[in-house]
Amino acid sequence: MQIPLIKRPPRDHCTRCGTCCRAGGPALHREDIAILLAGHVGHRHLVTIRAGEPVFDPFAEAVRPSPQEMIKVRGRGGEWTCCLYDEKTSSCTIYEHRFLECRLLKCWDPAELAEVAGRDLLVRADLINPGDPVLELIELHEQECSYQKVEELWARLSTKGEEAEALAALRELLRRDLAIRLLATREVGLAEEYELFIFGRPLFKVLEPRGLKVFAHGELKGGCTG
């Protein structure tokens, strides 16, 4: 005997379950600059997703390389949960000043959010004063530690006879990524809380889910499952 399914009416409002906020912070658009200028959110709350970085595409429900640079509200600790989300009250701590994507987000009808996704996005240069020395470090970092180089080396790991050389090159790329970050803190005086905004996630954090194990001093060991 089959038990009939209970038919529930379609939802048309937010129940404050927190699922969306736990899935990650929003990407920021040009019209969100006013919220930043007003001081409701600071650079310490942001993380840069660099062009080519693997990110989860909620519309495709798959991990894909980001086609462009974007700024997002960072997660909390090692989780993706938006750092502006209050677990105790199941609410946004800046609700009255929330960003465009948060205002448009309706989990029961993503059409409005889909309409603006990927359009008019903010990049780091929009939020850094011209002439700031950190811009030169960002350019250096992009030149030497691009995700294009990461993917090229990753592909070589699967090429017979090139594994050892590719792994060594990945190790050096990881070291260079960390060295530039260290240079920014020691020579330019960049506060550590701004690192994720200025340089994005460290490469070793991005590589770990692929099966590369990271040891002390940034050492990479094989065992990748690529």
Q: Containing H/E element for 73?
A: strand 70-73
Which pLDDT score is estimated for 128?
Answer: 96
Which pLDDT score is estimated for 214?
Answer: 54
Which is more confidently placed, 224 or 215? 215
pLDDT above 90 as % of the chain: 64
Which pLDDT score is estimated for 59?
Answer: 75
- Residue 32 confidence (pLDDT) above 60: yes
Tell me how many helices (H) and strands (E) the chain has.
Answer: 9, 8
What does the block give as tokens for 198? 């200025």
Segment 159-181 shows an average pLDDT of: 92
pTM for this one?
0.86
Give the separation between CA 194 and CA 185, rounded to whole angstroms: 10
Residues 6 or more apart whose CB falls under 8 angstroms from that of 120 comprise: 29, 30, 31
Which pLDDT score is estimated for 213?
Answer: 63
Instruction: Look over the chain and give the mean of its residue pLDDT values, rounded to a whole number.
Output: 87
Segment 121-145 shows an average pLDDT of: 96
Which is more confidently placed, 104 or 208? 104
Q: How confident is the model at residue 1 (pLDDT cuts 50, 70, 90)?
A: very low
- Residue 2 confidence (pLDDT) above 70: no
Q: How confident is the model at residue 219 (pLDDT cuts 50, 70, 90)?
A: low
Residues 6 or more apart whose CB falls under 8 angstroms from that of 10 comprise: 108
Among 75, 64, 67, residue whose Cα is nearest residue 24: 75
Per 3-state DSSP, the chain is made up of helix, strand and coil in percentages (nearest 5) of 45, 15, 45
Q: What burial letters (b/e) apply to 23-46, b meaning 16+ CB within 10 Å? A: ebbbbbbeebeebbeeebbebebb
The neighbour count for residue 20, using CB atoms within 10 Å, is: 19
Give the separation between CA 107 and CA 105, rounded to whole angstroms: 6
Q: How confident is the model at residue 224 (pLDDT cuts 50, 70, 90)?
A: very low
Segment 141-166 shows an average pLDDT of: 93
Contact 182, 195 (CB under 8 A): no
